[in-house]
Amino acid sequence: MPRKRRPGTLRSVAAALGILVLGTLAGCAPMAAPTGPSGEASVSPSPSETGPTGNVTVYAASSLTETFTQLAGEFEAEHPGVTVTLNFGGSSTLADEIVAGSTPVDVFASADDATMKTVVDAGLVEWTPATFTRNALVIVTPKGNPAGVTGLEDFADPTLKIAVCAAKVPCGAASAKLFEQNDIVPKPDTKESDVKAVLTKVRLGEADAGLVYASDAKAAASEVTAIEFPEALDAVNNYGIVPLKAAPNPEAAAAFTEFILTARGVEVFDEAGFLSMT
């Protein structure tokens, strides 16, 4: 069972681990206490004597499904009074839902800087989001690569069934960047709403090849063949996390965010095939 850990502040955890802060996002100081209306520094919620309790709702990129599910279970084991509710989807869709305010959300974890910026620019956070891991794309094919796909240039082959993410979601934006940088005009047969949908198309044999994150390919290694390509490192995505200003459970939101930033979080992401932050 995970060890019991006393919650600290977002700033102390980030500093201790050397977590990269998304300092370019407007409206937030990098992991420093925000200033309140009176001019006095605000602080993150102080932990109660018994620790956080209640429900904490986390909106997270679909590529975090396996890792966040694992870490949420460990967090609940450390904090028996907390229930973590996870909602996974395309980062841009989740960001739009948060901005719309239709559902109360405590924590947002995105798969790139741009979708996180949507939430920051809407004035919905006080803390600067922290980058907790990174990811790069790989080519996946049905197990055994029956179509003989060899590299990124095959995505321009009209005889192949190709699956990619829609441009509005992070995996699609990274794919588009790679195609442009390498003068490739892709011929996709389907553009999916998130990376898991692309993986499903390939896993079921409905596509000869797709572009997904390395972590997703590793999670489905028994069902797909992954092909790495050097150009992928030219379009690496940063994953950011932040508690939301209007979080219904601010103490649990802060504690969960801190937990993701711990050495245990880094270990889980590294094991899952994300790019190491160390």
Domains of the chain with CATH codes: 10-134+238-271 (3.40.190.10), 137-234 (3.40.190.10)
Strand partners, 85: 57
Strand partners, 88: 60
Nearest to 213 by CA among 147, 123, 275: 275
Q: What share of the chain is helix, strand, coil (3-state, %, to 5)?
A: 35, 20, 40
CA angle at 139 for the pair 112 and 271, rounded to the nearest 5°: 65
CB 28 within 8 A of CB 34: yes
Nearest to 82 by CA among 50, 105, 113, 34: 50
What lies within 8 Å, CB to CB, of 259 at 6+ separation is: 5, 71, 74, 75, 78, 265
Provide the sign of the torsion angle of the four alpha carbons 47, 52, 55, 56, taken in this order. Answer: positive
Q: What's the confidence (pLDDT) of residue 7?
A: 32
What lies within 8 Å, CB to CB, of 12 at 6+ separation is: none
Give dist(CA 34, CA 55) in Å, integer: 25
Q: What's the confidence (pLDDT) of residue 49?
A: 58
| Three-state SS at 166 | coil
Provide the sign of the torsion angle of the four alpha carbons 198, 202, 205, 206, taken in this order. Answer: positive
Strands 54-61 and 107-110: parallel
Task: Pull the structure tokens for residue 22.
Answer: 């998304």
Nearest to 170 by CA among 256, 219, 112, 128: 112
Q: What's the confidence (pLDDT) of residue 51?
A: 87
Local confidence pLDDT in tens for the 278 residues of the chain: 333 333 333 333 333 333 333 443 444 544 333 323 233 333 344 445 578 999 999 999 999 999 999 999 999 999 999 999 999 999 999 999 999 998 999 999 999 999 999 999 999 999 999 999 999 999 999 999 999 999 999 999 999 999 999 999 999 999 999 999 999 999 999 999 999 999 999 999 999 999 999 999 999 999 999 999 999 999 999 999 999 999 999 999 999 999 999 999 999 999 999 998 86
- Tell me the pTM: 0.82
